[in-house]
Amino acid sequence: MPFALPDAGCVTPVILPDGTPHAGTVFLKNVIDHPQIEVGEFTYASVFDPPAPDGWAAMLAPYLFPMSKERLVIGRFCQIALGVRFITASANHAFDGLTSFPFSTFALQSETPEQPDQRHTIVGHDVWIGYGAMICPGARIGNGVIVGAGAVVRGIVPDYAVVTGNPAQVARMRFAPDQIARLNHLAWWHWPVDRIAAARPALEAGDLDALEALAS
Q: Judge whether 28 and 74 are in contact, CB under 8 Å.
A: yes
Is 22 an annotated catalytic residue? no
Strands 169-173 and 161-164: antiparallel
Dihedral pair phi/psi, residue 10, rounded to 5°: -85, 165
Q: Judge whether 69 and 42 are in contact, CB under 8 Å.
A: no
Q: How far apart are CA 102 and CA 9, in angstroms?
A: 41
Q: Judge whether 131 and 149 are in contact, CB under 8 Å.
A: yes
From 34, 93, 125, 190, active-site residue: 93
For 9, counting Cβ atoms within 10 Å of its Cβ (0-12 exposed, 13-18 middle, 19+ buried), the class is exposed
Q: What is the DSSP secondary-structure string of 70-136?
A: --EEE-TT-EE-TT-EE--GGG----SSS----GGGGGTTTSPPP-S----EEE-SS-EE-TT-EE-
Strands 25-27 and 72-74: unpaired
Residues labelled catalytic: 93
